[in-house]
Structure 1
Amino acid sequence: MTTPAEPRQNPATAQTSITEGTSGGWVLGAVLVTLGLCLSLLRVVGEGQRMVLLRFGKVVAVRGPGLVLVLPVLRRGVRVPLGATRVDLLWIDAVTADGVPVTVNGSLLATVTDPATYIAAPRSPGAIEAVAADQVRAFVRRRELAALAGPSRDALDAVTGRIGDRVRGWGVEVDGLELSRVEVRLGDELIGWAARRPGPERNGGKSTVDATSNRFHGIGTLHQIVTHGGQRLGLLVDEDGRSHVAVYAGEDPDVPAQTIVLEPGEADRLADLLHTRSVSDRLADLERRVLELTREAR
């Protein structure tokens, strides 16, 4: 049995098919490469952002929101958020009007209102924080320590306004300054400040009371002790239990000549030594009095 012979393909036709297939692959590859390149030039800018385009370091345009074309080499794009950003003001050292060193922590809100100016304006990193810190120091210098416990909203808004005047040229507005914490350093300055505060009245060189106490939030309790001979001691018990004993014997009666720091155990030992009777004697006396009261009650 014979089968019909298969038709033989023309060599020229086969070569044409191979050439067309190869050309089609190159075209598809070129299309994909071109599409990828175009997509790489596009940037998606969100609603709360703007894209600042720069050419050789100079601002040429502000684009967004939406798709933004950024040409490589010729242009560079910088994203700028428009929403309010919290700026933390940490560990600002300052001195109050009555000479007490403090450390202030706080924050404020900064909002970019002019993206082009914000990018183009010459300023160092952290410039906004530095300006705010300077204004906070000036604010503290004009106020006594007691006035820093709860500054009014109007006073803080005034400081915010002065900060805004300094940073507005950078395309930024500020708002909502808060002083979250004011820490007072333990030292002679604090004890001297407390000594200058209104204290007990004196009559004939003798104090009408033995001691006065001032409580400082985050620091401790300061006791001012005046003897019948008119001599004065300061005892600051901090929140860690340490006792700072200040002795006034210098030229300035309000500045301690020396401060002695005692650990809790050392302070307890000194307290026992200062008692006219020992602890055991006082406990025995207390027990005896309780027993007498119990018998009387029967």
Structure 2
Amino acid sequence: MNGTLIGIGIAALVLLFIIGNAVKIVPEYERGVIFRLGRVQAAKGPGLFLIIPIVDRMVRVDLRIQTADVPPQEIITSDNVTVRVDAVTYFQVLDPVRSVIAIEDYRVATSKIAQTTLRSILGQRSLDDLLMKREEINQQLARVIDDLTNPWGVKVSLVEVRDVSLPETMRRAMARQAEAERDRRARVIHSLGEKEAARNLGDAAGILEEHPAAMQLRTLGSMVDAAAQPGSTVAFPVPMELIRLFRPDAGPDRP
């Protein structure tokens, strides 16, 4: 009796083991690549399915977009400036079977490819390109890396250069250049302002020359403003036309 119970218990454990290894549940964002006796069968999922224990082996593959940080790389630009650049790569598995059988570890391989491509592409660019054409460089990097990872069933959707570190001497030189450029622009703006003021002054002088009465009114207004200050003495210039009115011979012309 005891032997029968022990046998039933062992059979139940074996059955549970077989069922536990035969039933597989794969979430929506994964696929299970099935190998049967070493030969690849297909990618299954999502959901619940059965495999043959011991005979079948399943490798899970994540289909979500993944990221790989590219460690900082020392790069010499085309104009012989040493910079330190790091980046991040966004990629996604489109073919689960190829990502398993074509490459040992597609994550590590994608990161290594990104490093070598980063050094190669940026080494052909000048420092000004690295600073001013970041978007263009990102697109070129993504295109080149994607061509290399495509045989693995991996799609590289985006590469972003995150930081470009310059040597201290180069940063100081660029700061001096930027300051000199700001001074130059300030001088240009100041000279344009003086030129405009001189033009306006010339226009005003022409108007006053054409209208002497306006000149006298302007002078009178200035004198009134000066007289408003306490303790000020104003010398009033009398126009010659006004003096002639008070001369004895200033009457109307007689025949």
What's the counterpart of residue 35 of structure 2? 54
2:140 & 2:63 partners in 1: Cα distance? 24
**Greater shift in the superposed pair: 162-171 or 144-153:** 144-153
1:39 & 1:99 partners in 2: Cα distance? 62
Q: Does 1:115 align with 2:115?
A: no
Within 5 Å, give how 1:1-298 maps onto structure 2: 27=8, 30-31=11-12, 33-123=14-104, 126-186=108-168, 190=170, 213-214=176-177
**Structure 1 residue 42: Cα displacement:** 2.0
TM-score by length of 2: 0.60
Structure 1 residues 123 and 35: CA distance shift in structure 2, 3 A: closer
Structure 1 residues 172 and 52: CA distance shift in structure 2, 3 A: same
Q: Contact (CA 8 Å) 2:21, 2:53: kept in 1 or not?
A: no
1:64 & 1:40 partners in 2: Cα distance? 16
RMSD value, Cα: 3.0
Unaligned runs of 5+ in 2: 180-255
2:159 & 2:84 partners in 1: Cα distance? 16
Give the count of matched residue pairs: 178
**Structure 1 residue 24: Cα displacement:** 7.4
Q: Contact (CA 8 Å) 1:50, 1:62: kept in 2 or not?
A: yes
Which one scores higher on RCO, CA 8 angstroms, separation ≥ 6? Answer: 2
Query: What amino acid is the match of 2:32?
Result: M
Does the residue aligned with 1:213 lie in a helix, a strand or coil? helix
Q: Which runs of 4+ in 1 moved over 3 A?
A: 21-33, 55-58, 70-73, 122-125
Query: What amino acid is the match of 1:111?
Result: Q
1:22 & 1:81 partners in 2: Cα distance? 47
* Structure showing the higher helix proportion among its residues: 2
**Structure 1 residue 184: Cα displacement:** 2.1
**Structure 1 residue 40: Cα displacement:** 2.9
**Structure 1 residue 74: Cα displacement:** 2.1
* 1:49-107 Cα shifts (integer Å, max 9, x gaps): 00111245442221111223343432221110001001111112211111011111110
Structure 1 residues 78 and 132: CA distance shift in structure 2, 3 A: same
Bigger radius of gyration among the two? 2
* Structure showing the higher strand proportion among its residues: 1
Does the residue aligned with 2:103 lie in a helix, a strand or coil? coil
1:26 & 1:163 partners in 2: Cα distance? 59
Query: What amino acid is the match of 1:66?
Result: G
1:52 & 1:163 partners in 2: Cα distance? 25
Unaligned runs of 5+ in 1: 1-18, 198-211, 216-220, 222-298
Q: Contact (CA 8 Å) 1:43, 1:70: kept in 2 or not?
A: yes
